[in-house]
């Protein structure tokens, strides 16, 4: 058996786990691993901030369905990963973060760049480890990948003491399944439960499916389509579920929740059966829980048993992988005919056309909806879009229609500004054949704009659309609606984004008129490297509809009807 250092063993395990790409930033406590990395066929991307490394690994994981890997040194390097780890945790994204730690003999002495990163990240990881014995290193790393990718996926952190990285030991790769006491990621419901659910479905008159990210994570797209078309039940999507069911399908009603479609929220409140598939009843989806779908029975299929009855009490719970569970459930259901219910939902659309892109006044102004609609049109809806967080994120869901899974990557649960640019880098590297667009705000873009130089160093083709309204837009909207228009700390001065792009070796374009949008998008599509388009849009536009915090789901603030019909 060969004698390898802990650093070499780390790289050996990464290769065996199929890792081809690492995002990271070196430092003293992890230098042995970085030195060993030179002898292995794994490409390292040097991000300009460790937060960028975590987001890039996250974007890689979401776009590919594989585990993303981020790496950092101890102390500030490790703590800079925290926001990215928390983002992955809230959105169930499988990443493994490997951090260096001070030598085991000085842990606890406040040594230089020492931080208890396992303590810091305990609440925001699926699991984490501190490795102080080289004999445990290989098994620990294997367990980390197994935990990250199995069951309800999520981030795992492995903190490796520097002396373990330097120490040497005989190493032999043992290719056997990982088994952990008490950890049961594979569960299945009994036959009786499927029949109970099927009885509710077959007898329902006003059912709606609530489809979440679990559809994409389990690869249940075909099974969901078969179920929908067999039962003829209309479907609504969560933010992270978008793309799991074709937006163009006639039974897809659109997104639900705080900024979802008004007719969807109304229909949910009027339904007699909710079928929750791979979603967790987040507060942005339900509104006021006390009045949420009060007259509806509820069926919940979910891989994580802790989500059952956590926010919403359900009548039938099916715990297991959605793809498998949905296939079994479909075999128990009858062919559905729900024309009356579908007709009623259609009537709820009512004056929704006032929010449609065709009816938004131009009058020389550029609206974010114009920009996003045109990007959708000019990419034929085939781009992989990565958004930041804020108004532009919600406009993207309304005006870019996703027909395929993993075509929208966004921070949902944590709502992390600065997520988009580094996450898009990871997504593009995992899917180099795809056209990738970042849609971000002027605020969030500035949080991680330094990653433009990482993109340049890696020769990555990427297009960035900055929805620049001169405000922290979503906060400004809340201030307008709920704080009497008192704009506290939301007006913001930004740099010249064209010059900033050029300083980072990217191409910069500025657009302030709608007639120039198509030219700019076409130029971005044909220009190699990174193209940043600064879209100077209407400053005080708002996202409609909106369910205020604590309000009932169907109690929505609607866009005022335009005075002039367009």
Decide: 256 and 210 in contact? Cβ < 8 Å.
Answer: yes
Active site (annotated) includes residue 281: no
Dist. CA 445–CA 438, nearest whole Å: 10
Catalytic, 113? Answer: yes
Q: Which of 16, 31, 66, 113 is catalytic?
A: 113
Our answer to whether residue 325 is catalytic in this structure is no
CA 557 to chain centre: 26
Residues 162, 297, 298, 428: which is the catalytic one?
162
State the pLDDT at residue 564. Answer: 46
pTM: 0.97
- At 563 the pLDDT is 52
Residue 189, pLDDT score: 77
How far apart are alpha carbons 238 and 255 in whole angstroms?
A: 6
- Got the DSSP string for 205-240? SSEEEEE-THHHHHT-HHHHHHHHHHHT--EEE-TT
**CB of 252 closer than 8 Å to CB of 246:** yes
Q: What is the CA radius of gyration of the chain?
A: 24
Q: Helix axis angle, 50-64 relative to 82-90, nearest 10°?
A: 30
- Catalytic residue selected from 474, 479, 497, 535: 474
Q: Which burial class, exposed, middle or buried, applies to 493 when counting CB atoms under 10 A from its CB (0-12, 13-18, 19+)? A: exposed
Element (H or E) spanning 166, and its range?
A: helix 162-166
pLDDT of residue 566: 43
> Given this model, what pLDDT does residue 187 score?
77
> Is 50 an annotated catalytic residue?
yes
Mean pLDDT split into 10-residue runs, the chain, 566 residues: 96 98 98 98 98 98 98 98 98 98 97 98 98 98 98 98 98 90 82 93 97 98 98 98 98 96 95 98 96 97 96 96 96 92 90 60 84 97 98 97 98 98 98 98 98 98 98 97 97 98 98 96 98 97 94 92 54
**Closest listed residue to residue 364, CA positions, set 177, 112, 545, 536:** 536
Catalytic residue among 112, 191, 499, 561, which? Answer: 112
Domains defined along the chain, listed by start:
3-170 (3.40.50.970), 191-348 (3.40.50.1220), 352-557 (3.40.50.970)
pLDDT of residue 434: 98
C-alpha to C-alpha distance for 372 and 319, rounded to whole angstroms: 38
At residue 357, the pLDDT reads 62
Q: Which of 12, 50, 167, 396 is catalytic?
A: 50
Structural contact between residues 2 and 170, judged by C-beta atoms closer than 8 angstroms: yes
Q: How far apart are CA 103 and CA 130, in angstroms?
A: 12
Helices (H), 338-441: 339-348, 368-378, 391-399, 420-430
> Is 162 among the residues known to form the active site?
yes
End-to-end CA distance of the chain: 76
């Amino acid at each position: 058996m060969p004698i390898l250092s802990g650093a070499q063993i780390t790289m050996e395990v990464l290769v065996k786990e199929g890792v081809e790409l690492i995002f990271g930033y070196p430092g003293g406590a992890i230098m042995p691993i970085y030195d060993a990395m030179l002898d292995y066929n794994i490409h390292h991307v040097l991000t300009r901030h460790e937060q960028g490394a975590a987001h890039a690994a996250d974007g890689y994981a979401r776009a590919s369905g594989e585990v993303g890997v981020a790496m950092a040194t101890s102390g500030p390097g490790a703590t800079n990963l925290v926001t990215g780890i928390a983002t992955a945790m809230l959105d169930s994204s499988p990443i493994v973060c490997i951090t260096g730690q001070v030598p085991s003999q000085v842990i606890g002495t406040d040594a230089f760049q020492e931080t208890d990163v396992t303590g810091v990240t305990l609440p925001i990881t699926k699991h984490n480890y501190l490795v102080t014995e080289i004999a445990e290193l290989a098994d620990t790393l294997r367990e980390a990948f197994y935990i990250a990718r199995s069951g309800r996926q999520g981030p795992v952190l492995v903190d490796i003491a520097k002396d373990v990285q330097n120490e040497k030991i005989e190493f032999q790769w043992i290719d056997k399944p990982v088994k952990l006491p008490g950890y049961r990621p594979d569960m299945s419901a009994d036959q009786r439960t499927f029949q109970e659910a099927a009885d509710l479905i077959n007898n329902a008159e006003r059912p709606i499916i609530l489809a979440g990210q679990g559809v994409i994570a389990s690869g249940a797209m075909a099974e969901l389509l078969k179920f929908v078309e067999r039962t003829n039940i209309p479907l609504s999507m969560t933010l992270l579920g978008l793309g799991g069911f074709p937006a163009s399908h006639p039974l897809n009603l659109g997104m639900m929740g705080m900024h979802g479609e008004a007719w969807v929220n109304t229909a949910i409140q009027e339904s007699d059966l909710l079928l929750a598939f791979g979603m967790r009843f987040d507060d942005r989806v339900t509104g006021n829980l006390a009045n949420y779908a009060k007259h509806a029975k509820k069926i919940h299929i979910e891989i994580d048993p802790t989500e059952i009855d956590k926010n919403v009490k359900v009548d039938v719970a099916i715990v297991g992988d959605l793809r498998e569970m949905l296939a079994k459930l479909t075999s128990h259901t009858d062919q559905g005919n729900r024309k009356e219910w579908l007709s009623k939902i259609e009537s709820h659309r009512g004056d929704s056309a006032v929010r449609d892109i065709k009816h938004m006044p131009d009058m020389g102004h550029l609206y974010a909806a114009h920009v996003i609609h045109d990007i959708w049109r000019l990419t034929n809806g085939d781009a992989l879009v990565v958004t930041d967080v804020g108004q532009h994120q919600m406009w993207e869901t309304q005006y870019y229609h996703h027909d395929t899974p993993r075509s929208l990557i966004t921070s949902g649960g944590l709502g992390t500004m600065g997520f988009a640019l580094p996450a898009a880098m990871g997504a593009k590297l995992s899917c180099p054949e795809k056209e990738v667009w970042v849609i971000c705000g002027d605020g969030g873009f500035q949080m991680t704009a330094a990653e433009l130089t990482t993109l340049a160093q890696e020769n990555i083709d990427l297009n960035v659309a900055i929805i620049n309204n001169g405000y922290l837009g979503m906060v400004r909207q809340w201030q307008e609606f709920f704080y009497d228009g008192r704009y506290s700390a939301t007006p913001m001065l930004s740099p010249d984004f064209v010059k900033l792009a050029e300083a980072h070796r990217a191409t910069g374009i500025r657009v302030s008129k709608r007639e120039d949008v198509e030219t700019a998008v076409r130029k971005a599509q044909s220009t190699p490297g990174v193209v940043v388009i600064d879209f100077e849009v209407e400053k005080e536009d708002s996202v409609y509809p909106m369910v205020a915090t604590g309000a009932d789901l169907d109690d929505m603030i609607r866009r005022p009807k335009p005075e002039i019909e367009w």
